[in-house]
Amino acid sequence: MVSLIVGAKGKGKTKHLLSKAAELQKELKGSMVYIDKNNKHMYDLDSKVRLIDMSEFSMSSTDEFLGFICGVISQNSDIEEILLDSFLDNALIDSDEEISAAIDKIDKYSNKYDVNFVISISRNKDELPRKLQDKVIVSL
């Protein structure tokens, strides 16, 4: 399953994503990965959550980022949840078409590998492609 937390920059999406991580961590049997553009929130996460700082990796396209996600999934078959903060920046996405295509691929990964994704996107709900609107769990 793919769930979205959406809203303009500075509206508190990261705060909601961190709360979601804490909530999910209490009930997980497997592992959780939190992917962010830096390690600023390292101490806000439970020590059992794997934080991946994307500033340590050089990505030049959305396809590279999605390949990176596949690599994360393949390295640990116990991953149940992947939380993606600053999604548009990390995935190098600029357009609605790219958002839709990337979320479609992530949805396929979710179904195939039984991994849930919670993704923060710096867009208002009404700015998202219509087919993604039912995935929104928090709109700020």
Question: Tens digit of pLDDT per residue, the chain (140 long)?
Answer: 999 999 999 899 999 999 999 988 888 899 999 999 888 777 678 788 999 999 999 999 999 999 999 999 999 989 999 999 999 999 999 898 999 999 999 999 999 999 999 999 999 999 999 999 999 999 99
**65 within domain boundaries:** yes
Which pTM was predicted?
Answer: 0.92
Distance CA(2)–CA(16), nearest Å, equals: 16
Cβ count near 107 (within 10 Å): 15
**120 within domain boundaries:** yes
Q: What is the residue type of 115?
A: V
**138 within domain boundaries:** no
**137 within domain boundaries:** no
Cβ count near 93 (within 10 Å): 19
Report the half-sphere exposure of 55 (CA within 13 A, side-chain side): 6
CATH of the domain at 100: 3.40.50.300
Distance CA(70)–CA(82), nearest Å, equals: 11
**140 within domain boundaries:** no
Closest CA to 89 of 43, 120, 51: 120
**84 within domain boundaries:** yes
Number of domains in the chain: 1
The range of the structural domain enclosing residue 78 comes to 2-132
